């Protein structure tokens, strides 16, 4: 996601400066995701299921007691 463009910044106009700074620092350290197959009407449901499962795994990992 190209965040260092004027067009992208229009979504963050109301964001407090401290939050914007943290977001930009994170964006600068990040790496692009590997390209995956584009969404098509035929694979849309499967792609959504995969993304939902990844979100659930991530959330469960965050909520596990230490």
> Distance between CA 38 and CA 8 in Å, rounded?
22
What element of type H or E holds 58? helix 44-63
Per-residue pLDDT of the chain (66 residues; tens, 9 = 90+): 677 788 888 888 888 999 988 988 888 887 776 777 777 888 888 888 988 999 999 888 888 776
pTM: 0.42
């Amino acid at each position: 996601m190209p965040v260092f463009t004027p067009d992208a910044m229009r979504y963050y106009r109301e964001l407090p400066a401290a939050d914007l700074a943290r977001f930009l620092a994170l964006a600068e350290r990040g790496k692009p995701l590997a390209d995956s197959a584009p969404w098509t009407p035929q694979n849309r449901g499967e792609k959504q299921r995969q993304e939902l499962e990844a979100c659930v795994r991530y959330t469960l990992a965050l909520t596990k007691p230490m």
